[in-house]
Structure 1
Amino acid sequence: MKKTAFIFPGQGSQYIGMGKDFYDTYACSKEMIDLAGKVSGIDMYHLLFEENQELDITKYTQIAMLADELAVLKAVEEKGFSSTVNAGLSLGEYAALVASGVMTPEDAFKIVVKRGAYMQEAVPTGGAMTAVMGLDNETIEKICQETEGIVSVANYNCPGQTVITGEEGAVSAAADALKAAGAKRCVPLKVSGPFHSDMLKEAGLKLEKELEQVEIHDIQTPYITNVTADYVTNKNEIRGLLKDQISSSVRWQQTIERMIDDGVEVFIEIGPKKSLCGFMKKINKEVSAYHVDKIEDLDVLVKELSGQE
């Protein structure tokens, strides 16, 4: 059996209707989405499946994404698939924690509801994020450090795509300097705040208090944290890492590279769209990457990895 990783996307991949076919077809998927509604008090059927304006608001996006990812995960597991290691990009790390046995789905939903609300509340006016294309990380880091104001790296997504975050003026100034240094493009992102910057530290502190009320279970399947791009071996470190994750850089490229170095050959992206598979093509084209967003994607997975016609 080839070493397999389950990977889970973060905010930005959501869309109306995600998970509907799983909800209608798999009892285990419906159970996850219904549980998210019960825990959060939010009408998940409306939020996920009916036209609305809330899905793109952080405090709703996060619970919706996690509900969809766990709904799809349960269907994938029901088909007999399992992972050697798990990881998720930003919010996706909570689905990875559930997949690794660290949190129950119910507790993960409880925390993510709070996480989304705290991040929404902490968003100051004047925050921004910009994707930087075609420039090495060292140059980006150096220019961020030299720019006046708060600006830093939010996401190391893949070679040639890094996201910066912070105060609007500082992010704009850094983008100008990055273009002058050779960046192919700097694209402002349509987000509601400067996520993964020091400006969100207060949200992390609030979340840490909520995490104290949640039981952290032994790690059943290894998982890698965004904060260090390394395995977590001590469950007692998890609360602190989740606090830091809100304001720290997401080391996604480094996370994938670590798993490949450890012999992972198959990556299965679980959740809406296939942004992580897109990053994978730029990180390493030699490994196999699949995504499961719809039931037909799961059918492909079964056919190709289970040898079924």
Structure 2
Amino acid sequence: MKLGFLYAGQGAQHPGMGADLYEKYPAFRSALDGADVGFDLKAVSFADPDGLLNETQYTQPCMVAFAVGLTDVLAEKGVVPSAAAGLSLGEYSALYAAGALDAKTAVEMVAFRGKAMTDAAKGVDSAMMAVLGADRETVTAACKTASSLGVVEPCNFNCPGQIVIGGERAAVEKAAAVAKELGAKRCMPLNVSGPFHTSLLKPAGDALREYFKTVDFQQPNIPVLHNCLGGENQAGDSIPALLGRQVQSAVYMEDCIRAMAALGMDAVVEIGPGKALAGFVKKTLPGFPVFSVETAEDVEKLPEFLKEVERG
């Protein structure tokens, strides 16, 4: 059976995530205990006593450590991906699943990424909004109309009818108003700390490119579907180049989901807190088998889901 793994991104985190997995599976413990990120991954992920989990520089290593550990737990049970993708931050977990990064490197790398993104967003009065019920052309046109007020760009093409825009606050609010005039059903402000996946994050992309010079990336052993491409790398761009580009350009998640199905996957397994990506799959590919794994109970239920897929 060919399984596509989809890894959750920032925003799905919550206190308590992974606590049951840490208690039950040594492979999960190794992922959280093996990285040096300057703070206690377990304390922030499990209890978050100081309210740090929602701060980007803490969120990112906690999320990737969770994903790495759960990937290893599933691998021990013989559940491995035939293709992988992730939402924004989740792309790093997908690269780990594909053998392009080792566990320690992946977690420590996103700790740097989180700090670089936080630094790039400082001093920018920014906003992000989810535009619901509008197509790409409508949202792009709304952003173009509002661009006289500042930077505003589509930054996440999540699934049909759900597109996120981001940039400078006044321009984002204007673009949202224009989108509604053009027929969008609703525009929802997102609780984020910066204009992620817009050109305003170029300083973070530049910092990452320098950092990546110290990292030894391996050739992926399965297809990885890249956010900024909406599919596999066909042009021969290096992984560092794509990751540097990713942080400052739109995420084509809907396209990655469609590309995963086109590769012949029989089902998709979402890895990470929450079920947002499973929702994207259901809206993009109605009826396509998808299962979300977050807890030890989910790990135990996964074999039955896979049996049902085999039975058709």
TM-score (norm 2): 0.95
Amino acid at match of 2:171: A
Contact 1:79–1:302 (CA under 8 A) maintained in structure 2: no
- In the alignment, what sits opposite 1:158? 159
Q: Work out the percentage of aligned pairs sharing the same amino acid.
A: 38
Amino acid at match of 1:42: F
Cα shift readout 1:58-95 (whole Å, capped 9, x = no counterpart): 00000111011111111111111111100000000000
- In the alignment, what sits opposite 2:44? 47
Amino acid at match of 2:5: F
Deviation at 1:268, TM superposition (A): 0.1
Alpha-carbon distance in 2 for matches of 1:177, 1:233:
36
Amino acid at match of 2:105: D
Give unpaired runs (5+ residues) of structure 2.
none
Amino acid at match of 1:45: K
Deviation at 1:110, TM superposition (A): 2.0
Among 55, 58, 66, which residue is 1:68 paired with?
Answer: 66
Alpha-carbon distance in 2 for matches of 1:174, 1:236:
32
- In the alignment, what sits opposite 1:129? 128
Amino acid at match of 2:60: Q
- After superposition, the Cα gap between the structure-2 partners of 1:236 and 1:144, relative to the gap in structure 1 and judged at 3 Å, is closer
Among 87, 105, 108, which residue is 1:107 paired with?
Answer: 105
- In the alignment, what sits opposite 2:83? 85
Tell me the secondary structure at the aligned position of residue 40 of structure 1.
Answer: coil
- Runs (4+) of structure 1 exceeding 6 A deviation are none
Tell whether 2:214 aligns with 1:203: no
Amino acid at match of 1:145: K
- In the alignment, what sits opposite 1:229? 230
Deviation at 1:218, TM superposition (A): 1.4
Alpha-carbon distance in 1 for matches of 2:219, 2:107:
19
- In the alignment, what sits opposite 1:290? 291
Map 1:123-202 onto structure 2 (within 5 A): 123=121, 124-147=123-146, 148=148, 149-202=150-203
- After superposition, the Cα gap between the structure-2 partners of 1:159 and 1:44, relative to the gap in structure 1 and judged at 3 Å, is same
Alpha-carbon distance in 2 for matches of 1:72, 1:54:
22
Alpha-carbon distance in 1 for matches of 2:106, 2:234:
19
Amino acid at match of 2:29: K
Q: What is the aligned residue count?
A: 305
Cα shift readout 1:89-140 (whole Å, capped 9, x = no counterpart): 0000000000000011111122111100010111133111000000011111
Alpha-carbon distance in 1 for matches of 2:42, 2:130:
32
- After superposition, the Cα gap between the structure-2 partners of 1:217 and 1:233, relative to the gap in structure 1 and judged at 3 Å, is farther
Alpha-carbon distance in 1 for matches of 2:101, 2:303:
27
Deviation at 1:306, TM superposition (A): 4.8
Tell me the secondary structure at the aligned position of residue 56 of structure 1.
Answer: coil
TM-score (norm 1): 0.96
Amino acid at match of 1:97: L
CA RMSD for the aligned pairs?
1.5
- In the alignment, what sits opposite 1:119? 117
